[in-house]
A and B are shown apart, each in its own frame.
Chain A
Amino acid sequence: MSGSCRSLMHSVAITSIALLYGQGGARADEKLFIYNFSDYFAEDTISNFAKRTGVDARVDFFDSLEVLETRLLAGGSGFDVTFPSATVGERLIQSGALKPIDASGLKNYKNLDKDLLKLVAEHDPGNQYLVPYMWLTTGIAYNPRLVEERVGGAPTNSLDMFFKPELAQKFQDCGIGIVDAPNEVVPIALNYLGLDPYSTKQEDLDKAKDLLLKLRPYIRHMQSGQLVADMASGQLCLAMMWSGDAGVAAARAEEANNGIAVGYSIPKEGTIISFDTMAVPSDAPDPEQALAFIDYVLEPKTVADISNHVFYANANAAATPLVDEAIRTDPNVYPPAEVRSKLFVDKSLPPRQARERTRVWTAFRAGN
């Protein structure tokens, strides 16, 4: 090795050691790793927190809850705050993947809606692990013009749009999409049939499968992450999707000024109500910063800004007056009591029973 080469190698080694050391030092006390759905904060949520606390907060995104759950179960994910749905949270609690959260240390915890806390307690007895974030329904998003062109006076507030083949086939050419979420769509189908939405009886599941298979030929795709863009650009005219995503699609279409409108309705037959929550993994590197961040999100101003951006109803009672009027008075986002009474939570099933449900879904996806 020549002299100059040796000195070069030397400086490379020193620089990399310095870099490693520098990273290790900062990691311990100044960084916060957040794991959330994409487009699920306001644009300035993270930067404001960073400005206020000086913490280098970083967000990584998952595109399905299944990915979040599997990463946390595998352990060593390195995240401090994650955003599981209450259903996923329930299993994570049972698996020992989450750390209990001491609510007395959170000065804004009192802002949370007491009724919603009770509903979340069905997943998390005593509200020990999951701090409610947003809540949403899985319903019907539609393009009013394209739907009206095909079926005058179509029942856009009814699941008949999907489950009556003579109706669904009319929308095949303009495109039907559906969220890739067996734990939501299978119970919705069971409930539509007047059966117990949580049934694991084979005969009930077979009926749900028949219902879904009749819809199958008219479905264009089941990519949850693609639904917002496709509804907003008119690639699809009808989708079974999450309330907030439908709101985002409507807003994007308006921004693009492409003459496309997106409506959303909660099906009159009843549907799934889900909660997204904040939770701290049991092996979080910095649980203290995690709690500081959760407390920050519980501030009415912070979470109201997020609702205004993502079009989901938040679980923060004190924040409601700060939410844009158009959102807070929208019965499909903040539904009135009689609509709410028809909503049911998405209950977690043990693995082998969940499999029976997923199998219905697999058959549905494959169309056989």
Chain B
Amino acid sequence: MMQSKPNLGRHALVLVPYGWLAVFFLMPFLLVLAISLSSVRLGMPPYEPLYAWQGSLLSIRLNLENFVFVLGENTYLLAYLTSLKVAAISTVLMLAIAYPLAYGIASCSPGSRSFLIFLVIVPFWSSMLIRVYAWMSILRNDGLLNSLLLHLGVISEPLRIMNTETAIYIGIVYTYLPFMVLPIYANLSASDRTLIEAARDLGCSRMAAFWRVTFPLSLRGVAAGCALVFIPVIGEFVVPDLLGGADTQMIGRTIWIEFFNNRDWPVASAVTVLLLVILVIPIVLFQTRLSRTSTA
């Protein structure tokens, strides 16, 4: 009897995250899935109900046409691929910036560590939208960056960065960088320094000690950081819409067009469901496996 009580508490504790997932992930997803199996109509809401009662007869109509349509269209495939490309490139860029940054912070004294981490978090105090707008005024043809470079005589013609893919990368890397820095930092600052001393004692050079000890041990943090930025960037809408040109069509924009321009909620939902099935689920599975192997 004495033992069953903490067990019950432990079970309840495990249920909390599952309950959270059920309410905030599974239920919305099921709603989206339901709409994706419906068809468009003029009305409020603008899609047919999935089921109807005729007396005691319940008829359920599931329409797979939206999926057939989305899979048969080049536009959607292209948008998926563009999103993948942008997410992959910006994840690599962020890793290249965030790892040295996190490593640097982790090797500082505890006092300056917390100050530096505070600096990483400070941008979150203002709205992301305002920060992206700020980038617009920096990157414009007559913006801060161009005026500065022209003034210094580095360039003679303003660089066209605004409304290009470069601007998208700048915006995304800037917006998501803290999500990459924090998990890597958390991992590095918790790593055992004596292991490096041991490696050095056993004849490793500084570089070798880093590559053979520190880096492999930090892989979990790297994987967490990559997943934290890669997945949201695939669906990113605000940054490409405000900073990018019209020629970079990512999946977020595609869903927006289906939802708002075509008023076709079922196709918009089908695109969303496919995004989840094709891209996000495999990534999450891969990530879980990676973090398991690195703990083992």
**Residues of chain A at the chain B interface (Cβ within 8 Å):** 64, 66-67, 69-70, 72-75, 91, 94-97, 182, 216, 219-222, 233, 235, 282, 350-352, 354-355, 358-359, 361-363, 365-368
Contacts and interface: CB of A to CB of B under 8 A. Distances in A.
Interface in B264-284: 264
B43 A362 contact: no
Contact of B78 (A74, A282, A366): A366
B264 A355 contact: yes
A367 B43 contact: no
A365 B82 CA distance: 14
A352 B40 contact: yes
User: Chain B CB within 10 Å — which of A72, A282, A359 has the most?
Assistant: A359
Contact of A362 (B142, B249, B264): B249
Contacts of B49: none
B240 to A, nearest CB: 12
B247 A351 contact: no
A73 B246 contact: no
A221 B163 contact: yes
Contacts of B42: 91, 94-95, 350-351
A76 B70 CA distance: 30
Interface string B243-271: 00111010000100101111110000000
B261 A75 contact: no
A220 B245 contact: yes
A351 B38 CA distance: 14
A64 to B, nearest CB: 7
Given A96-B43, A220-B245, A366-B247, 20 more contacts: A66-B260, A67-B260, A69-B263, A70-B259, A70-B263, A73-B46, A216-B247, A219-B246, A221-B163, A233-B142, A235-B142, A351-B42, A351-B262, A351-B263, A358-B257, A362-B257, A365-B249, A366-B75, A366-B78, A367-B246
A73 B249 contact: no
- The interface size bin for chain B is 20 to 34
A235 B137 CA distance: 12
Contacts of A97: 44
A75 B44 contact: yes
A96 B45 CA distance: 10
Nearest to A363: B75
A95 B47 CA distance: 11
A72 B42 CA distance: 12
B261 A182 contact: yes
B167 to A, nearest CB: 11
Interface string B25-64: 0000000000000001011111000000000000000000
B261 A222 contact: no
Contacts of A70: 259-260, 263
Given A73-B45, A95-B46, A354 B249 contact: no
A312 to B, nearest CB: 23
A73 B44 CA distance: 5
Nearest to A180: B246
Contacts of A352: 40
B217 to A, nearest CB: 43
Contacts of A362: 75, 249, 254, 257
User: Chain A CB within 10 Å — which of B45, B262, B264 has the most?
Assistant: B262
Contacts of B140: 235
Contact of B75 (A282, A351, A359): A359
Nearest to A74: B45
Nearest to A367: B247
10 contacts: A94-B42, A95-B46, A96-B44, A97-B44, A220-B163, A221-B163, A352-B40, A358-B257, A359-B75, A366-B75
